């Protein structure tokens, strides 16, 4: 019956995989199966619960529960109402919530059962928090990447008649909602003496860029529309990242010179070697994405100015596309690939196209994050296996302790199957209680960490705040995995109890 419950939960989760209703369906399935299990088990349920239930606990456990809840409440009040952003308050709140869970178990369960439940609580809670942090890194990096990169990028080495090509590409798929031509080229930025930095210049059209990118959400000074204005009659506008502005000691209104590596027009060699193209710009805006890779290097200028710096006034590098659903970007890119001649890596074609979606552009980053998440998941599953052995050892000790009672039950006519069901029900109850408190503590601590927002070194982690994102699909899978492991832990103790001979326990009781 226990594995039937797990099977139903697995089926419910997979049927609605990726849906926001997955946790609800899984919870309803567990509740229905638990009710059916309670009706079907008859006296096994009553006996199993009496084995783990301990009435009349000492007032110390109740006092600990009350004190822990008070401390946790005070911590939440300081965090959310008084805005006391302190690591000590966060730590005290999290520890008091764990103490409250343990004290609550001691008020109802026996000591042996509480020890087994505590192992499940710690393992499930830890796994929930770590998954929330790992998912947070993935989500934040995706948002940062999409803030400065389009969903799909089509590049071409000879994009001359780009307006007509852009119109033709947009018509290739109905999910494409916006587009813009762009130029992306590496240059140098200088300001004053000794202040120099390598930058990536991106030429965009101000009227179109906000329809394709989320740049406006990251502006901390000025506006994207300022790229269309000319603050002085001499120098055009530019928008730079906050990290680059700090590196060059620049602010809005300051001049920054952009230096192309070499002029594209070689000219007459008799006049000497080609000289770098240099042009001054006025900083009219600052953006901050929280992604150090972009904040310290990326510069936005008007597309016409980028063409002149690039040395190709009639060409662009490619076209950026925004699709209706970012999850479908890869499918849209494949549709466009099937309708355009592509670049052949073996025999490069100057007029070939190259199509990439946002995930392909950052494949290394997201592959590393996914691999890291899998490794952490595997390692933390070891904690659940430790909890499984803890549960199995507690049940085995209970089998030894309850040997006389089991022998009396079998002497009264109880079948071996019923005895096995009793101890399976014990494991089911311990698993349910431990998983319930573990998930509750994990989600609670994740929300507390999310509110506190630990600072990170952007030069190491590429972002400046610890991201925490809870996905309920992952929570449902943690619940299913924990219950399955707890079910496996009950197999050996249940078989051991079912194999007891009535005479063994009776003889031991009278010896």
User: Cα Rg for the chain, rounded, in angstroms?
Assistant: 32
Compute the average pLDDT of residues 451-457. Answer: 74
Q: What is the pLDDT of residue 70?
A: 92
Best-predicted range by mean pLDDT (153-157, 159-163, 361-365): 153-157
At 447 the three-state DSSP class reads helix
Q: What is the pLDDT of residue 240?
A: 93
> Is the separation of the CB atoms in 113 and 430 below 8 Å?
yes
Tell which wins on pLDDT, 337 or 510.
337
Compute the average pLDDT of residues 342-354. Answer: 58
Compute the average pLDDT of residues 256-268. Answer: 62
168-184: pLDDT as tens digits: 888 888 888 888 999 88
Compute the average pLDDT of residues 376-391. Answer: 79
Contacts of 17 (CB under 8 A, 6+ apart): 473
Compute the average pLDDT of residues 200-224. Answer: 87
At 17 the three-state DSSP class reads coil
At 397 the three-state DSSP class reads helix
> Is the separation of the CB atoms in 468 and 456 below 8 Å?
no
Checking if the pLDDT of 75 tops 80, the result is yes
Compute the average pLDDT of residues 462-479. Answer: 80
DSSP per residue, 251-290: -TT-EEEEE-SS-S----GGG-S----EEEEEEEEEE--S
Q: What is the pLDDT of residue 3?
A: 47
* Six token digits for residue 440: 């509750």
Compute the average pLDDT of residues 450-460. Answer: 73
Q: What CA–CA distance (Å, rounded) separates 232 from 161?
A: 31
Compute the average pLDDT of residues 487-506. Answer: 79
At 211 the three-state DSSP class reads helix
Q: What is the pLDDT of residue 1?
A: 47
Q: What CA–CA distance (Å, rounded) separates 72 from 87?
A: 14
107-137: pLDDT as tens digits: 888 777 888 888 888 888 888 888 888 888 8
The mean of the pLDDT values for the chain is 78
Burial class (CB in 10 A: 0-12, 13-18, 19+), 129: buried
The model's confidence at residue 511, banded by pLDDT at 50, 70 and 90, is low
Checking if the pLDDT of 320 tops 80, the result is yes
17-46: pLDDT as tens digits: 445 555 555 556 655 665 555 555 565 666
pTM of the model: 0.71
Element (H, E) at 175: none
The model's confidence at residue 230, banded by pLDDT at 50, 70 and 90, is low
Checking if the pLDDT of 351 tops 90, the result is no
Tell which wins on pLDDT, 36 or 90.
90
Q: How far is CA 20 from CA 13, 125, 263, 476, in A?
A: 10, 21, 54, 11
Helices (DSSP H) in 149-256: which residue ranges? 162-170, 206-212, 242-248
């Amino acid at each position: 019956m226990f594995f039937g419950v797990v099977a139903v939960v697995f089926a419910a989760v997979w049927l609605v995989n990726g849906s926001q209703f997955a946790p609800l369906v899984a919870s309803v399935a567990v509740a229905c199966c638990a009710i059916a299990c309670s009706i079907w088990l008859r006296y096994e349920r009553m006996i199993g619960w009496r084995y783990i239930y301990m009435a009349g606990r000492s007032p110390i456990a109740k006092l600990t529960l009350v004190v822990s809840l008070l401390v946790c409440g005070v911590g939440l009040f300081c965090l959310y109402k008084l805005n006391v952003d302190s690591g000590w308050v966060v730590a005290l709140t999290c520890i008091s919530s764990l103490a409250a869970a343990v004290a609550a178990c001691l008020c109802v369960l026996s000591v042996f059962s509480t020890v087994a439940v505590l192992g499940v609580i710690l393992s499930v809670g830890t796994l929930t928090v770590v998954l929330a942090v790992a998912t947070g890194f993935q989500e934040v990096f995706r948002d940062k990447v999409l803030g400065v990169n389009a969903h799909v990028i089509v590049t071409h080495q000879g994009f001359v008649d780009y307006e007509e090509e852009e119109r033709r590409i947009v018509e290739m798929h109905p999910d494409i909602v916006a587009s813009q031509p762009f130029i992306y080229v590496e240059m140098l930025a200088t300001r004053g003496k000794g202040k120099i930095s390598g930058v990536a210049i991106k030429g965009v059209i101000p009227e179109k860029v906000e329809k394709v990118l989320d740049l406006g959400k990251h502006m901390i000074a000025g506006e994207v529309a300022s790229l269309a204005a000319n603050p002085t009659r001499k120098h055009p506008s530019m928008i730079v990242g906050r990290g680059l502005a700090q590196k060059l000691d620049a602010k809005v209104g300051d001049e920054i010179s952009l230096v192309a590596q070499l002029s594209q027009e070689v000219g007459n060699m008799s006049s000497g070697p080609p000289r770098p193209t240099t042009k001054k710009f006025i900083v009219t805006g600052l953006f901050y994405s929280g992604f150090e890779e972009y904040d310290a290097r990326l510069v936005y200028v008007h597309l016409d100015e980028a063409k002149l710096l690039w040395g190709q006034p009639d060409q662009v590098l490619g076209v950026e596309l925004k699709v209706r659903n970012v999850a479908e970007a890869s499918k849209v890119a494949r549709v466009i690939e099937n309708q355009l001649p592509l670049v052949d890596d073996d025999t490069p074609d100057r007029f070939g196209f190259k199509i990439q979606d946002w995930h392909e552009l950052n494949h290394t980053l997201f592959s590393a994050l996914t691999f890291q998440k899998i490794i952490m998941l595997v390692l933390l599953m070891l904690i659940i296996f430790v909890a499984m052995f803890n549960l199995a050892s507690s049940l085995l000790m209970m089998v030894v302790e309850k040997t006389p009672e089991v022998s009396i039950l079998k002497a009264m006519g109880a079948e071996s199957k019923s005895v096995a069901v009793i101890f399976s029900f014990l494991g089911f109850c311990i698993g349910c209680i431990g998983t319930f408190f573990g998930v509750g503590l994990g989600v609670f601590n994740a929300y507390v960490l999310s509110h506190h927002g630990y600072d990170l070194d952007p030069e190491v982690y590429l972002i400046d705040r610890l991201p925490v994102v809870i996905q309920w699909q992952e929570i449902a899978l943690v619940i299913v995995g924990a219950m399955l492991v707890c079910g496996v832990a009950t197999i050996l103790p249940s078989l051991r109890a079912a194999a007891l001979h009535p005479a063994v326990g009776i003889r031991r009781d009278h010896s």
